[in-house]
Structure 1
Amino acid sequence: MKAVWLAVGLLVASAASAQDYAESDGAMLRFLDKLTSVTGDVTLSRGQAAQFGRLVVRLDSCRYPVGNPASDASAHLTILDDATQTDLFNGWMLASSPALSALDHPRYDVWVLSCILPEAATEAVEGE
C-alpha cells in the first residue's frame, strides 16, 4: 500500500511541476563545428529551421520555469543531416545540462542557450 501512495505522490508532484513551465516563442542555440572550431549563435522561432554546415536544426518547442525565467530552458529540437535527410536527433535538450540529451555527431555540436522570454518575464529578471 505504501508503494501505491508513493506512486500517487510522485504523479501529483510531477503534474504540479509541469504546470510551472511556460512555452516560449523561440530559443537561442549555439552551434560548433569541431573540425574547424567555427561557432555560431542563432535565434529561432517555434517551427523555424536553420542550417549550420550539413545540419538542419528545427525548433519545435522551448519551455522555461515561470518562477525563474532565466534559470533553465528546455527545447525540443529536430536535427537532420541535409545531405541524406537522416534524422540525427529528435528530442529535448536542457540548457543547464547539455550532455544529458545531446546530439551524437562526430563533427557538429548543438546546444540550447536559452528561451526567448516575453517582455514581462524579461523585466522581472532584470529587476532582481
Structure 2
Amino acid sequence: MRCLGLGFWGLCVVLSTSAWAQEQVEPGTGVVLRWLDKINGVTQDIEMANATSHQQSSLRIELGECRHPVGNPAGDAYAFLTIHAENDTKPVFSGWMIASSPALNPMEHPRYDVWVLRCLTQ
C-alpha cells in the first residue's frame, strides 16, 4: 500500500503486487527467536530448525519456515510460526512474523512475548 499526503485525510492507493518489484527470498535452515516472560522480566533466545517445535515454559512454538533476502542472510527475516498456550486447542498466534516489524503481526498473550530475530543459515 502506498499513502500520499493529500489534504487532511490523505489518500492511500493500493497497488497490485505486479506494480512493485518483489524481493527475492530464500529459506534459511531455521530461526532465532527471542522469548520474554513479561511478569518475571526473563528473556531467552531460542534456536529452532525449520519444521520443528520447541516447548518454552507453557508455550509450544512451532516453526514452519524462516526466509530471508537472497544473498543477504542478515537482511529482513520473516518466519511462519504457530504458538499454542498450555491447555489451549486454538493457537494464540499463527502466521508470518517479521523481524524488522514485530508489531505488524504480534502475538497477543498476557504473559509472554515472542519475536523473530533472524534466520539461521547453517
Residues 1:11 and 2:14 are matched in the alignment: no
- Normalising by the residue count of structure 2, what TM-score does the alignment of the two structures yield? 0.81
Q: Distance in 2 between matches of 1:11 and 1:51?
A: 37
Q: Report SS of the residue matched to 2:115.
A: strand
Q: Distance in 2 between matches of 1:114 and 1:40?
A: 14
Q: Which structure 2 segments of 5+ residues have no match?
A: 1-13
Matches within 5 A, 1:9-88: 10-13=16-19, 16-17=21-22, 20-88=24-92
RMSD: 2.0
Q: Distance in 2 between matches of 1:43 and 1:10?
A: 35
Which consecutive aligned stretches of 4+ in structure 1 deviate over 6 angstroms post-superposition? none
Task: Quote how far apart the aligned CAs of 1:10 are.
Answer: 3.6
Q: Report SS of the residue matched to 2:75.
A: coil
Residues 1:97 and 2:101 are matched in the alignment: yes
Report how many residues are paired.
110
Higher helix share: 1
Aligned letter for 2:68? Y
Q: Which structure 1 segments of 5+ residues have no match?
A: 1-6, 119-128
Q: Percent of pairs identical after alignment?
A: 44
Task: Quote how far apart the aligned CAs of 1:27 are.
Answer: 0.4
Task: Quote how far apart the aligned CAs of 1:86 are.
Answer: 2.8
Q: Distance in 2 between matches of 1:13 and 1:51?
A: 42
